[in-house]
Structure 1
Amino acid sequence: MLDENCVFCKIIRGEIPSVTVFEDEHVKAFLDISQTTPGHTLLVPKDHITDVFHLDSETAAKLFSYVPMLAQAILASNTAIKGMNIINNNGAVAYQSVHHVHIHLIPRYSAQDDFSIHFGDHTKMYDAAKLNAVADKIRTHVTEVPHA
């Protein structure tokens, strides 16, 4: 089911133009209009799903199964590519600007290619007991392990 107001749903329906890289009955992959780096591609499911928190394991398995193929195609398209960031943002605080689950495949050409991610190092704030307390809270909410 598609959302009539969602930008990505409009792209899927052909109401907004896009440059398609790959499409089948399940997904559409198209170039991000911002092109953070050349080849920046978005992968979206054809059903409107807001974010990973609303994604069932079957749809997730299907969606994420396309990532290696697309990453390999992007890599093969340009010998200057040295690496790739594969990112899924969920919620505004995590920089999700379009609320239709999507995966960014961002080719990396150098450490100075106008894209960065910062992981703060808070190692000194956590000992084994604190880490286990965090893990215990998460474990109490794990309800099932999906199997392929």
Structure 2
Amino acid sequence: MDCIFCSIARGTAPSHLLWEDQSHMAFLSIFPNTPGFSVVIPKIHHGSYAFAQSNTVLCDLVVAAKKTALLLDNALTGVARTGMILEGYGVDHLHAKLFPMHGTGEDSTFKKISSTLDKYFEHYEGYLSSHDAARADDRALAELAAHIRSFARQPTSTFDLHTHVRSALLRLD
């Protein structure tokens, strides 16, 4: 499959490159909603639904996103943290979207920052939001949790996600 992100990875389409290694690259979004909004991609094409990918492919993307997020945190004034979304409806190529959180300070120490927005989404509107909405009813939450748990399966893979992530993070040093 060929897509715009494949073209960027090959160097046949322009990008504003921030970082790359042998298997991943990060570049600025050409449609930013905040300064530094970045996209991290594997250079090899994978479908856009992150959770349909192998654990190895997903873990490697997250590690590449971490490297880029820390670069953004260090480079941008007033950015203590960077958020990540694995959405995948804009381009059918696995990618992580990184959002520098401007105005969060100069260090990543926890500080409570919250929104007063109270909007609940019944349907996906083309974007994700992390704000809290009104307090949900515990009975409705319990019913939904039971319904979701009824679909749980035992893992069929012997892949050790924690070991893979640890070894990938050690490569950061």
- Indicate the TM-score class for this superposition, using the shorter chain for normalisation: 0.7 to 0.9
Flag the 1:79–1:127 CA change in 2: closer, same or farther, 3 A: closer
Counterpart-to-counterpart distance in 2, 1:20 and 1:127: 43
Counterpart-to-counterpart distance in 1, 2:11 and 2:145: 47
In structure 2, what is the equivalent of residue 134 of structure 1?
Answer: 148
In structure 1, what is the equivalent of residue 110 of structure 2?
Answer: none
In structure 1, what is the equivalent of residue 102 of structure 2?
Answer: 109
| 1:98 is aligned to 2:111 | no
Q: CA deviation at 1:67?
A: 2.2
| 1:42 is aligned to 2:39 | yes
In structure 1, what is the equivalent of residue 78 of structure 2?
Answer: 80
Is the contact made by 2:51 and 2:58 (CA closer than 8 Å) also made in structure 1? Answer: no
Report the residue type matching 1:46 in the other structure: K
Q: CA deviation at 1:70?
A: 1.3
| 1:146 is aligned to 2:144 | no
Q: CA deviation at 1:133?
A: 2.6
Q: CA deviation at 1:50?
A: 1.1
- The alignment yields a C-alpha RMSD, in angstroms, of 2.6
Counterpart-to-counterpart distance in 1, 2:128 and 2:62: 23
Flag the 1:17–1:130 CA change in 2: closer, same or farther, 3 A: closer
Q: CA deviation at 1:32?
A: 0.6
Counterpart-to-counterpart distance in 2, 1:10 and 1:127: 44
Q: CA deviation at 1:62?
A: 1.4
User: Which structure 2 segments of 5+ residues have no match?
Assistant: 104-113, 116-126, 165-173
Is the contact made by 2:24 and 2:41 (CA closer than 8 Å) also made in structure 1? Answer: yes
Q: Which moved more, 1:119-128 or 1:46-55?
A: 119-128
In structure 1, what is the equivalent of residue 6 of structure 2?
Answer: 9
Q: CA deviation at 1:144?
A: 3.1
Q: Which moved more, 1:46-55 or 1:122-131?
A: 122-131
Q: CA deviation at 1:145?
A: 6.0
Counterpart-to-counterpart distance in 2, 1:14 and 1:41: 17
Counterpart-to-counterpart distance in 2, 1:101 and 1:76: 25
Q: Which moved more, 1:117-126 or 1:8-17?
A: 117-126
Q: CA deviation at 1:136?
A: 2.1
Once the two structures are superposed, what CA deviation does each residue of 1:90-143 show, in whole Å capped at 9, x if it has no partner? 4xxxxx11010100111122589xx97155557226243541231121x13743
In structure 1, what is the equivalent of residue 65 of structure 2?
Answer: 67
Counterpart-to-counterpart distance in 1, 2:80 and 2:64: 20
Report the residue type matching 2:36 in the other structure: G
Q: CA deviation at 1:7?
A: 0.7
User: Which structure 1 segments of 5+ residues have no match?
Assistant: 91-95
TM-score using structure 1 length: 0.78
In structure 2, what is the equivalent of residue 32 of structure 1?
Answer: 29
Report the residue type matching 1:37 in the other structure: T
TM-score using structure 2 length: 0.68
3-state SS in 1 of match to 2:32:
coil
